[in-house]
Amino acid sequence: MNERTAASFADLALDTCLSFRAGDRLRVQAEFAHRPLVHAIAAKAWERGARDVRVEWSDPGLSRIYFDKAGDGSFDSAPTWVAADGAMYADEGWCVLVLKGDEDPAALDGVNADRLQRHQRSRALALDRYRDAIMSYKIPWTILPVATEAWGRAVFAAAGRDPGPDAEEALWEVLAPILYLDRPDPRAALLARAAELRERSGILERARLSELRFSGPGTDLSIGLSPRSRWAGADASTPDGRRFMPNHPTEEVFTSPDCRLATGRVACTRPVKVLGETVIDAWFEFREGKVTASGAKKGADTLARYLDVDSGSRRLGEVALVDALGPIWKSGFVFDNILLDENAACHIALGSAYVDAFEGSGDMSPAERAAEGYNESLVHTDFMIGSPEVDVEGRRADGSRVSILKEGVFVLKD
């Protein structure tokens, strides 16, 4: 990424994805390999009048040392600063920008999954206020991909293609049209796509669907929607009306279903990283909303461990529709990066629901949420289940049925 493109991406991240304002505080989560872009983002934030910019660097190699070498008692409780920092970000209304692009995609291969699960659980418990602020859209946040040399090599190797002498630059060339960085006005292109997705959400909302059915190879899954399920896509709004984009790129429209009403079997169409391991060819069987059986060609034991994180990790918090006409699917690459892969295909999420996608849930007690079918969990992981071979049909409350996606194409009209 050259200096000009980094500046353009930083502008897009702050102005369009976060609606950053003078006086805002910015939290950036990144790896060391992202430094050029982080520097551009920090410079732009200060130029816009930021009150504070805090960069939190992660080191995959150091994380691996921790999981391999730390005493076993280190994983079941989080230091007090974890909860304190999370509460600060939530209470002070920080803007949060997360950069995703592995400096070492294999850093956690073969890691002790039990230790990783316990670590993630203890951190999630400590970060309950922060997690609520994120899932309830109380603060603006966004996640963006960043190409790295090692990630580029892995992506091209999985596709059986040669990236040439500079795998990082080759991956940026793939990502540029996906992120609209090849356009004369990336902001205008992103806003236009957001408007299209909002219109698609509106079509689904007006259809008043009570159920979705996915059917294709290895898949026959029905997901019940609540009368409170609301369709959303592209952008979101904080309580004070600030519009922001949680993900860039974004190609999905989604809702939070009634977590008690999924039935059938579903096959995953893309790999997904779970507890540090890439799980391949996963499948699930649901009964009365709960995963009752699961498996995978690779990573089945890790997947089973994820399902036992808590009572909500076996139930759905999200179902998302993505057609096969978007630039991510059309690129032909599988990125082994959830931000990109979830925007290439329809997906379901096992774990927590979104307050904004379940009407009235923000004002309910936990018991009231449970009674309405809203899923609560410490985790939220997307599993891709869509492809041009998977059709999606909807059922209305009156029993009539409508086609939503056919051969990967969104066909529902008002």
Over the stretch 330-347, which tens digit does the pLDDT of each residue have? 999 999 999 999 999 999
Collapse the DSSP code of 212 into the 3-class scheme (helix H, G, I; strand E, B; otherwise coil) and give the result. Answer: strand
Q: Is the pLDDT of residue 102 over 90?
A: yes
pTM for the whole structure: 0.92
Q: How far apart are CA 75 and CA 114, in angstroms?
A: 9
| Pair of tokens at residue 62 | 């150091």
Q: How far apart are CA 14 and CA 155, in angstroms?
A: 27
Over the stretch 217-273, which tens digit does the pLDDT of each residue have? 999 999 999 999 999 988 999 999 999 999 999 999 999 999 999 999 999 999 999
Q: How far apart are CA 170 and CA 147, in angstroms?
A: 9
Q: 3 to each of 6, 151, 312, how far by Cα in Å?
A: 5, 21, 44
Q: How far apart are CA 82 and CA 375, in angstroms?
A: 25
Residues facing 264 on adjacent strands: 221, 286
256 in Cβ contact with 28 (< 8 Å)? no
**Cα 279 → chain centroid:** 16
Q: What percentage of the chain exceeds 70 in pLDDT?
A: 100
82 in Cβ contact with 75 (< 8 Å)? no
Helices and strands, number each (H, E), in the chain: 13, 21
Residue ranges of domains in the chain, CATH in brackets: 3-146 (3.40.1830.10), 208-232+252-410 (no CATH)
The answer for residues whose C-beta is within 8 angstroms of residue 2's C-beta and 6 or more apart is none
DSSP per position, 24-86: -EEEEEEEGGGHHHHHHHHHHHHHTT-SEEEEEEE-HHHHHHHHHHS-GGGGSS--HHHHHHH
Over the stretch 165-195, which tens digit does the pLDDT of each residue have? 999 999 999 999 999 999 999 999 999 999 9
Supply the mean pLDDT for the chain.
Answer: 95
The pLDDT of 351-375, averaged and rounded, is 95
Q: Which of 145, 209, 244, 248 is nearest to 404 (CA)?
A: 209
pLDDT for position 325:
87
Q: Is the pLDDT of residue 87 over 90?
A: yes
The pLDDT of 362-378, averaged and rounded, is 95
